[in-house]
Structure 1
Amino acid sequence: MNETETFEEVFASEEIGVPADRRTHFRHSGYQAPRRDLTTAEFAELLAEASEGDRVPSPRPTPATWDRTEMSAEEVVDLIGQLPFRGCKDHYRRRRRSAGTLLSWLTQFEGSTWQERWINGGLEDIQRGWVDQVVDSIPNGRTRSRRPLVCEIHTGMMALLVGQIIRPSYRWLLAQHFNFTLSQVRLMIDPDGFARLEAHCDKTDRTGQHRTGALNCVAMMLLNKGGRIADITVDDCVEFAAAMRVSHRTARHVTLFYTLLFEMGILGDDAPPTLAAARAPGQRTVQQMVDSYRIISPRVRELLIAYLTIRKPELDYASLRSLAGTLCLTYWRDLEKHHPGIDSIELSPEVAAAWKHRLKTIRESKQRKGQKREKPERILLSVRAFYLDLAQWAITDPARWGAWAVPCPIRANECVGTKRERASKARMHQRTRQRAPVLPTLVATAERLKKEAVGRLKVARAVAPGERFTVDGETFIRGGGDISKTTFVFDADTGRRRNFGLEEDEAFWGWAIVEVLRHTGIRVEELMELTHHSFVAYTLPSTGEVVPMLQIAPSKTDRERLILVSPELGDVLTTVIHRVRHGKAALPLVSRYDHHEHVHSPMLPFLFQRRIYMQNSAMNRNFIGRCIDNILLSSGLTDASGEPLRFTPHDFRRIFATDAIRTGLPPHIAAKILGHNDVNTTMRYAAIYSDDVIAHHRAFIARRRALRPGAEYRDLTPEEWQEFLGHFELRKLELGICTRDFGTPCVHEHACIRCPALRPDPAQAPRLREIIANLHARVDEAKQQGWLGEIAGLEVSLAAANEKLAAMNRLTERHGVVHLGMPDFRPAAGRQG
């Protein structure tokens, strides 16, 4: 601000006639004006919608009255004349006159205090056009010069706000551009508190517009609530953050102002470490889970609450939520929707069959509604366990559970999805086979993007704002801003704005994520949980050599494990630590939100954290996925259909397991490294290739030959070869071919018609019918002569002959002559290339 500017001129620039440089600041700071003026009811409705699922706060109420709002007009004018305004060249008489003009306008409304008159004046519902409303209602306001009067009203409003004569709502304050007013608030309302805040910002290297925005957030809270900075509570911050979201104000300062208050200890020792943690409702109770599905039947509701309460101690929170969703939503709410009035879990066969048929299609998810459910057996298994548990509990406590011991509508064989499991395993292996060969390309692309981003950022920071420069064949114009913090540039051809600092940050973390995942095979949750304390030094007892190990915190299986840090992995982790430390003695302490358990971790030195908007925050799955997608997009890799190839963090784990087992690592050792409880789970990860099968079969033959006597692998003699060929010459029989193995005796003493080794020839069916007719004649003759022993033998031969005839008929039906349309190469045999 120019020192010659008056308060009126400054206030005129805050809403009308904003200078070009300030309009640019508002645009680049992410400010979005509200779409329209919101009434109190509309604001409350949007606030409830935006806060749905959050913890219900209990903020301090805005006082209805206080000392200054009860002053007379003369006392208010005298107070404003004594306020130590700074930063402008102005006389206190002008401020007194401006405040008097606005007070005169407020006196026309009912109320015993200025706050009551302000509310009854209706300006709370006119967020953006309030100046025109006041000017038009002032006597002779239409005949006076408009701009001086507008400036006077602005100055009067600043005086009343800074003097704490009125306290507007967040709905009204967030609709204004009171940047200069808020700077005066920081000077005159709790100056000592703001001085400590600014000293803390200087100590933690927080400068620029984000710092100013965070301080302005605190100033607006004081304008609404009154008091001092030390009086601000966690719930006050949650309420203000929700109001900012509804008012479409920038979210960049929302978390920073809370972080500053938390770091200074203003919010208390038991305050959540982040604003997200303060807003989060935490883990819900079993009753809250069940009631969220709006079950109609009170009896079944009570049953589900009791059942889940008993199961709760043996399950983690994520598993409990999944079981509650299965029983309450997928099972019972679906039944209530399609069978209104149902009040018993004893289902008729028709109702159970209809539910199982609907279960094949996803119905409870908006994003996947109508898609085929891949593994319905898991839901069937959970529901079957529900019925069986109730039946078992009814034996030990019949008074409580006996009424619910009903037949289970799900059979055991319906819960077995062997075919689907095989299909899922095949898809997973095919996915691994497709991605493993391109992993080197992905790694090289990540390294290239990191180097290019560093080079672009270095060149951009070397030029002054407004200058043109060329890098990688593209011409840019250096934007404004702090060169040491971030770098905004504009494409000289398209005018598109880019942030080279942010691009370098994402490129670096993309490279680090890919390197750590491929070298360790850890899960993405375990990656995000790595801290500076994860490094463990292990001393070999034989040589005394110190080997670095990486301690993986329990995640899915609650089994802690150690991974050897290779030199390549050590270089990556060292680079990560150096970047996060940022010249400090230790890594910053941050809190990470666990989306599975719905809890925030204590303040820990996480390795995968990044500094954004002047505060450090732990990475989440969305950012990790975005970094990997950026690398894939730059690599140009595609799948079989030509679509861009997709990689998930778990793909690196499968590739790691496959490579480990292919290179000879024993499966039980690989299971230990991967953190699997069962070695069969590890083998499911390992995708077997065709060349692997051939190589392992050859290795098996070589090992077997090494163990068998060497005489068995000597060269054949001519006599032995002729004997081998003679065996196949003797295979031709009357009714077909003998399939007896070489070197084995004939166990039926050449009674071939009874032998299962005879493969009948369909062409000999007429001859076999003659034999069967002859056997019938011989049976009749034996019966006439009384040869009972002969009859038994002939009946065995007759039954075997009929079986051979049936086999001939089956072969005839199965193997018909089909012309395959194969090309004939004889006409082309004499051609020359």
Structure 2
Amino acid sequence: MSESTITQELSAQRQQANTTRAASGPSVKLLSLPGVVPPDAVFGPGGKLLARHGYDVGLEPPPLLPDAAGRAVQALGLADAIEHTLDSTAGVFLSRKHLSYGVRRLLGWLDRFEGDSWEQRWLASGADLAPRTWRDGVEPQTVPAALRVAVNALMMARVLRPSYGWQLTSGAGAHQPQRMLQAHEAEMLERMRALPAYRLALLRHQADAEACLSRVLIRTGRRLDQLQGEHLLHYADVVRTSGRNRREHLAWELLVALGPFAGEPVTLRAAWSAKGNTRQHSVETLVDRYGVPPGGVRDLLVEYLRELKPSMDYGSLEGWAYRLVRLFWWEVLQINPAQTDLRLAPAVATQWRERLAVTSDGRPRGEVHSVLFAVRGMYRDLAEWSHDELGRWGPWVAPCPVSRHESKAASKGKSP
């Protein structure tokens, strides 16, 4: 298909979209738009929970700085955005002709959606909520490989800033880090690669560090010398809570050595535990970060943790959420995806305790006792609170899957 034919198609589609917008009226604009991508499924074909996305999928990117390279790009029309992307990535990807095909298809599709910027249209399309399946919603018969190249080019050209969850899961940016850093940070990249910490690191750790920095540059829209510790801490948190290996430690140490993080602790581990680290998530995020699907128990966990919040510090609340949401409820859904309440069948409770005893890589879990204690505490609290607020807590009262004997042993730190 020639470029002129594609351009004519996009023009006709845009005109049709504008006609639909005008006819539908303000109150139903978004609902009238065709092609919104449905979010990725939570459960796989076998009924098991799929690997979790990062909890920031579908959320707006952080505000752009006044001098950000991508600020002016967001106001470009379709034709100018295409030309900007092709010009700014010239020689980086395939030939201009092949790149043009995918970029025109993808931007033409996004141009149908409401928004004052390309980033807003990306979110309105639903693509960010569907890292695994977003390509299925774009133009029919568009070659998937062309879309992968196109979205990489759009990220490099500062047109799109997908969430970390999307970048980590979609697989679209497999070769993006070196390209992104070379295109925008060639001098800093050369200095970074000359640092002793970089040169002595394993090759996979070097690649992980560059991938980390590339994703942070894409998401924040900043330069390396504009990054702050908060930005890398946020990325590290998304990686950690989505069940992936934490591989951003070298990136932190390199930024300390390069200068942007000169005032920060020398290691990421020290930064996490630094006194005065006030970065906190809402209770909703503490629950949703572990990828549990919407439902009554998810809402109950939010309400329960919200009740506990005034009586504990943030670190304790975060640990409580990890035990109840990730190590209890998420594991229960792995065993029985149809579970909708806290009343576990004996077989489910037994399997949960067996799964709890070992980590995902088969090692004995060291925090079994604290999890058992937290779970029994929640069941006990719900039963007690139901006497005062029956309508709120009563429906969730159920036999506890942790026996009194196990609870006593857990409270003493002994094996039940």
TM-score for both structures, normalised by structure 2: 0.51
CA contact (8 A) 2:177 2:214 kept: yes
Deviation at 1:268, TM superposition (A): 2.6
Q: Residues of 1 paired with 2:242 and 2:262: CA distance?
A: 28
Counterpart secondary structure, 1:174: helix
Q: Residues of 1 paired with 2:219 and 2:56: CA distance?
A: 19
- Equivalent of 1:175, from 139, 144, 169? 169
Counterpart secondary structure, 1:76: helix
CA contact (8 A) 2:161 2:218 kept: yes
Q: Residues of 1 paired with 2:56 and 2:236: CA distance?
A: 19
Q: Residues of 1 paired with 2:192 and 2:221: CA distance?
A: 18
Deviation at 1:102, TM superposition (A): 0.7
Q: Residues of 2 paired with 1:172 and 1:293: CA distance?
A: 31
Deviation at 1:201, TM superposition (A): 5.2
- Equivalent of 1:82, from 87, 100, 106? 87
- Equivalent of 1:278, from 271, 279, 285? 271
2:124 match: 120
CA contact (8 A) 2:198 2:254 kept: no
1:229 match: 224
1:184 match: 179
CA contact (8 A) 2:58 2:126 kept: no
2:102 match: 98
Deviation at 1:205, TM superposition (A): 2.8
CA shift in 2, pair 1:281/1:202, >3 Å: closer
CA shift in 2, pair 1:212/1:42, >3 Å: closer
CA contact (8 A) 2:155 2:218 kept: yes
Letter in 1 for 2:250: L
1:248 maps onto 2:243 in alignment: yes
Deviation at 1:71, TM superposition (A): 1.1
- Equivalent of 2:150, from 137, 153, 156? 156
Letter in 2 for 1:225: T
Q: Residues of 2 paired with 1:84 and 1:185: CA distance?
A: 10
Q: Residues of 2 paired with 1:165 and 1:290: CA distance?
A: 42
- Equivalent of 1:261, from 255, 261, 277? 255
Alignment of 1:385-464 (within 5 A): none
1:711 match: none
Post-superposition Cα deviations, 1:16-56, rounded to whole Å, max 9, x if no partner, equal: xxxxxxxxxxxxxxxxxx93464968999xxxxxxxxxxxx
Counterpart secondary structure, 1:108: coil
Deviation at 1:272, TM superposition (A): 1.1
Deviation at 1:167, TM superposition (A): 0.5
CA contact (8 A) 2:54 2:238 kept: no
Q: Which moved more, 1:258-267 or 1:225-234?
A: 258-267
Letter in 2 for 1:228: R
CA contact (8 A) 1:124 1:172 kept: yes
Q: Residues of 1 paired with 2:313 and 2:198: CA distance?
A: 49
2:410 match: 366
CA contact (8 A) 2:55 2:238 kept: no
1:73 match: 78
Deviation at 1:62, TM superposition (A): 4.1
1:108 match: 112
Deviation at 1:179, TM superposition (A): 2.2
CA shift in 2, pair 1:98/1:263, >3 Å: same
Q: Residues of 1 paired with 2:210 and 2:54: CA distance?
A: 27
Alignment of 1:342-741 (within 5 A): 366=410, 368=412
Q: Residues of 2 paired with 1:120 and 1:280: CA distance?
A: 37
Letter in 1 for 2:205: H
1:570 match: none
1:129 match: 133
Unaligned runs of 5+ in 2: 1-48, 278-308, 315-376, 385-404
CA shift in 2, pair 1:41/1:197, >3 Å: closer
Deviation at 1:87, TM superposition (A): 6.2
CA contact (8 A) 2:129 2:166 kept: yes
Runs of 4+ in 1 over 6 A off after TM superposition: 41-44, 361-365
Deviation at 1:290, TM superposition (A): 10
Q: Residues of 2 paired with 1:206 and 1:200: CA distance?
A: 10
Deviation at 1:124, TM superposition (A): 1.0
Post-superposition Cα deviations, 1:197-231, rounded to whole Å, max 9, x if no partner, equal: 12225874335121011111001000000111011
Counterpart secondary structure, 1:175: helix
CA contact (8 A) 1:37 1:128 kept: no
What is the aligned-residue identity percentage? Answer: 18
Q: Residues of 2 paired with 1:293 and 1:87: CA distance?
A: 49
Q: Residues of 2 paired with 1:80 and 1:246: CA distance?
A: 33
TM-score for both structures, normalised by structure 1: 0.27
- Equivalent of 2:160, from 158, 166, 181? 166
- Equivalent of 2:50, from 35, 56, 61? 35
Counterpart secondary structure, 1:179: coil
CA contact (8 A) 1:174 1:247 kept: no
The structure having more radius of gyration, on CA atoms, is: 1
CA contact (8 A) 1:124 1:168 kept: yes
1:216 match: 211
1:292 match: 312
Q: Residues of 1 paired with 2:197 and 2:266: CA distance?
A: 21
CA contact (8 A) 2:155 2:161 kept: yes
1:387 match: none
Post-superposition Cα deviations, 1:640-678, rounded to whole Å, max 9, x if no partner, equal: xxxxxxxxxxxxxxxxxxxxxxxxxxxxxxxxxxxxxxx
CA shift in 2, pair 1:293/1:220, >3 Å: closer
Unaligned runs of 5+ in 1: 1-33, 45-59, 295-332, 341-360, 373-833
CA shift in 2, pair 1:72/1:241, >3 Å: same
Q: Residues of 2 paired with 1:181 and 1:109: CA distance?
A: 26
CA contact (8 A) 2:58 2:128 kept: no
Post-superposition Cα deviations, 1:350-402, rounded to whole Å, max 9, x if no partner, equal: xxxxxxxxxxx997773636789xxxxxxxxxxxxxxxxxxxxxxxxxxxxxx
CA shift in 2, pair 1:167/1:242, >3 Å: same
CA shift in 2, pair 1:283/1:222, >3 Å: closer
CA contact (8 A) 1:39 1:125 kept: no
Structure number with higher strand proportion? 1
Counterpart secondary structure, 2:252: helix
Q: Residues of 2 paired with 1:364 and 1:156: CA distance?
A: 58
CA shift in 2, pair 1:39/1:211, >3 Å: closer
Deviation at 1:92, TM superposition (A): 1.8
Deviation at 1:106, TM superposition (A): 0.4
1:63 match: 64
Q: Residues of 2 paired with 1:290 and 1:81: CA distance?
A: 53
Q: Residues of 2 paired with 1:71 and 1:254: CA distance?
A: 34
> How many residues in Structure 1 have an aligned counterpart in Structure 2?
248
Letter in 1 for 2:117: T
Deviation at 1:97, TM superposition (A): 2.9
Q: Residues of 1 paired with 2:313 and 2:229: CA distance?
A: 30
Q: Residues of 1 paired with 2:208 and 2:310: CA distance?
A: 42
Q: Residues of 1 paired with 2:415 and 2:81: CA distance?
A: 68
CA shift in 2, pair 1:258/1:35, >3 Å: farther
CA shift in 2, pair 1:248/1:66, >3 Å: same
Post-superposition Cα deviations, 1:484-509, rounded to whole Å, max 9, x if no partner, equal: xxxxxxxxxxxxxxxxxxxxxxxxxx
Q: Residues of 1 paired with 2:313 and 2:119: CA distance?
A: 44
CA contact (8 A) 1:190 1:228 kept: yes
Q: Residues of 2 paired with 1:212 and 1:268: CA distance?
A: 22
Alignment of 1:332-351 (within 5 A): none
Deviation at 1:98, TM superposition (A): 2.1
Counterpart secondary structure, 2:195: helix
